[in-house]
Amino acid sequence: MAVRLWGRPLNGDKDMNSIDIDVIRTALDWQSRGHRVVMGTVVRTWGSAPRPPGSLMVIRGDGQVAGSVSGGCIEDDLIRRVAAGELAMRLPETTTYGQTAEEVRRFGLPCGGSVQVVLEPLSPQSQLRELLVLIEQHQRVERRLDMATGWVRMNASAEGDKLQFDGQALTTVHGPRLRLLIIGGGQLSRYLAAMAVMLDYQVTVCEPRIEYHEGWDAMNGVTLCDQMPDDLVLAMRLDHNSAVVAVTHDPKLDDLALMEALRTPAFYVGALGSRHNNAQRRKRLLEFDVSEAEANQLRGPVGLNLGALTPPEIAMSIVAEMTAMRRGVDLSQALSRWDSSQTLCSLA
């Protein structure tokens, strides 16, 4: 059950939107019914690969699967080998696809990529149920798998994206990796929240104005809060995996959130409005003891310049800019020459 001291979760535990959680729940359900279950984790990729390190998949002994490690390229072979007892019968082991040109051709790996996967036979010592409890408590958990014994150790983690594999141990981080706080509950916020949920953000909408609350109960994966924005920013304890976007057009609300958010390690803080309005906003923020360096971190006008006009287009431009900043893209350079072949080529 999701618990929040400063808001109300919508649609029960569906506000936990980490992609891992559905895979973990499925694995536990299968185990409870007596099935043999093997969990696969992408640990390394070379060249262009369809799924990033950390991607999860579980394979049942009879061939049922949940999650994905390659977008469909190698799943059939993994299923066959697991069902035949060729992989991970008693202890974790690794397997690699795409090491040769023949394998690339056979498995349809895009752009010559290679994928290495750790396969772990699940058992009580895997501590998946304990992991699920911690994730549902909104805790970020580091899970360390010993390859020689299959034993698992778990600790609290302050890092959102972490995967380490040295052949002896696999360390992964689970739980809410990314958080987005949206100030304002209008039409744009609904599109922005929906897109962020699809990108695995834990989304909170701050809307003190009750008249904007109608309809939010139908939004999966979102928490609605009626606190004042500055109080909520402080309560959330934003970290370097957090983003804040202010879209109310009301300085009394937007500025309250921004003056606190800009003092946090949040990787992205943005505000809707024209260049002129955001220049005036930065001047106001300086009057609230926000430093000039902090004020200059504000992304305003918010979003990439995509020529967006409609609320969905504007929301898309915002999540695109958030993604670019999180991935360390130099936004001072034109993005028109971005090489999509270096990412999810399998979608082409």
178-326: CATH topology: Rossmann fold (3.40.50)
Instruction: Quote the percentage of the chain above a pLDDT of 70.
Output: 81
Residue whose C-alpha is closest to residue 74's, from 48, 106, 102, 112 = 106
Residue whose C-alpha is closest to residue 206's, from 176, 232, 238, 240 = 232
Domain boundaries, the chain: 19-174, 178-326
For 177, list phi and psi in degrees, rounded to 5. Answer: -80, -45
Residue 345, pLDDT above cutoff 70: no
CB 120 within 8 A of CB 92: yes
- How confident is the model at residue 115, as a pLDDT? 86
- Cα diameter, the chain: 68
Residue 268, pLDDT above cutoff 80: yes
Q: Where are the beta strands (DSSP E) in 226-317?
A: 242-246, 268-271
Q: What is the three-class DSSP state of 66?
A: strand
Residue whose C-alpha is closest to residue 59's, from 78, 34, 33 = 78
The predicted-structure confidence for 128-148, as pLDDT tens digits, reads as follows 999 999 887 777 889 999 999
In this structure, what token pair is assigned to residue 71? 């977008």
The predicted-structure confidence for 16-56, as pLDDT tens digits, reads as follows 345 678 899 999 999 999 999 999 999 998 765 566 788 89
Q: How far apart are CA 205 and CA 7, in angstroms?
A: 9
| pTM greater than 0.75 (yes/no) | no
